Each structure stands twice: as C-alpha cells, then as structure tokens.
Structure 1
Amino acid sequence: MRRAVKLRVASSSAMHKVFLIVTCLLSVAKETHHIPVCCIPTRRVITCSMKQFVDTSEHLWTVKTTKPGNISCQYDQRRLISDNFIIYNTTFFHGRQRYSIRLRGDFDPREPKRMLVSTLGRATQYDLRVKNSSIGFRPHSRCNRHFRRAAGHGRCIYSSECQRLIILGN
C-alpha cells in the first residue's frame, strides 16, 4: 500500500509546532481550505486520520524535506501510542553517524488530520513521508505537486542506501 505524509513546522511565540499532515489529493484540496488526509495506495484512495497513518510498526521515511543541513535517511518509528498522543523516535544520518531524537506528537481532537509536535526550531519545515512498505514506489505525482506548492523546493534525503544504513546502525 502506498502512503505518504507531509510534515509542516509552524512557528509560534513560545514553542514551535510541527504539523504532520498526510499528503492529499489536490482535487479535494481545491474545494476546501483544509488539507485532507489521504493514504494513497497504488490503485485507490483510502482516507485515514493522522493517528491511523502513524500507528504502524513500519518505519515512516522522510523522502523530501525543506529542513536545512546535510542529513539523510530520516525515518520515524513508533514507540508508544494512545488515543491522544504518540511517542516516537525520529532518526537520521549525518554522514555515517546516526542520531535519534525522541518526540511526542499530540493528536488534534478538532482536526484528525493533524498531529502537533513540539520543537525548539524556529523555521517552518515541510517533509514528504512514506511508509517503509511503499518506499520502493515513487511518491504519487499529486503528492509531489502538493509538496512543491506548499513548500517550494525541497531536497531528497532518501536513497536505496538508507535501508542498508539502518540495518548497520541498529
């Protein structure tokens, strides 16, 4: 099943919030001002909440990002999930060095398409994410188009080398 996620970090005065939003179909996005949640398989669209998307034992790979720096092979891995929040690790490589940060994401009860993640960074950041089981496929063209419209330019940080690095790094 082909699934992709977009990560958006929005600035706030005290802490900055990360909005994980499942990448969507543009036709639906044009009809509303909200970004709908779609899990995009190879043949048909399945709509799901953010909680449904992140509630997996699979790695969630960041395929594209606007995050500055020289990182690669970033993925998220669920540690604990409840009705209201998720605890997960985001892991990435800088060269051959592996780094992992534990984060808490709070599901927005008013907007099931969002998850708020506290960060200390100031910049807005967008990520396009894909489940490990779908990483062999390219993200759907509508997902890439939506990413470009929302984020402008991003850079690819995933390559086939990433699968080997996480095996060596674990």
Structure 2
Amino acid sequence: MSVRLTLFCAGAGPAVREARFDDGPLDTTGLHEVRAVADSMPAAALCLRSPSVRCAQTADALGVEAEARKELRDLDTGHWRGRTLGEVAGADPEGLAQWTTDPGAAPHGGESVEQLCARVADWMDALPGDAGRVLCVVEPAVVRAGIVHALGTPPAAFWRIDVPPLSGIVLTGRSGRWNMRTGGV
C-alpha cells in the first residue's frame, strides 16, 4: 500500500503579505480565501499540521481537525524572526545572500535549508506504509522541503520552488521512494 501525502500550504495573513519572517494569524481576507477552497480538500485518514498559528487557523477554516506536529514546523530563522525580508536585506545583505545560495548556511543563527530538508525527509520516510491518505497543512518551506526529498534533488533546488498560499502538492510513496503528482489537490 502507498501513502498519499498532500502537503497543503497555509493561508495568508499580514506576516505573509509583508514578507515577514514570522508566524501570525490569518486576516479576514486570508480566512475568506481558505473557506473558499474548503470543499475541494481531499478526504484523509490522518490530518496533521505545523504548530504555527497560521496553520492552526487554516486547518480550522478548512473544517479539518489536524494534530500539530513539531516535525512539520517552519524553518527556524533565528534572529531574523519578526523582521521583513526588506529589513534583513538592508541590515544583513551578505547573510541573506549566503542563506539563499548556500543550503548549509544559517547566518540568522537558526536552521539551515539542509537541516529543514533532512527533518522533513526523515518525517516523510517514517510515515507507516499503511497510513493511507495524509493531509498536512504546513508552511511553504515544508512543502518545498517535501518536494526536494520526493524528487531527490539537491537542497539548492529549495529556492527554485514557488509555493503560494493555499497551494498543494500530492506525493505518493512507500519504502522511502516518493513520486510527485501534479494537478489539483
């Protein structure tokens, strides 16, 4: 039996719209957008989510009871947390450039892209073969890391994957071998 893993990106709120390294609640627009796609969500035997406020509110707005899992947390951006991308670019342009070109770098003092990709890969490969359909409401970085693992691409490919709010990807697999399915969630 194969696992059918849907990684669904959480809705947008002020932190996302401001390109801020931070968690935060969905705004009225974000909640409305999530509710508009709720009927299109696939049925799942297991529903999980990132422990973030944004993912909790997205799951609730979708009408999904999802258990928070620390392995699905967002990339830890260390002392950049709370700052916008523009603020970081102005204050630490070398660090930002290093972070976006070297997947092993963590100039913010948090987690590197390589570490995130390894964490998500370990979690994916530990899913039991009989898990069936699994729906995860997660941050864009977790979706990227899942794609990197499924395709066996180097972590440098992480930054080449765009994951807008309320987009999803379906990965099917077993025994550590994953396939990516394009199309609707």
TM-score grouping bracket, smaller chain normalisation: under 0.3
Query: Which structure would you say has the larger Rg?
Result: 2
Q: TM-score with structure 2 length normalisation? A: 0.25
Higher helix residue share? 2
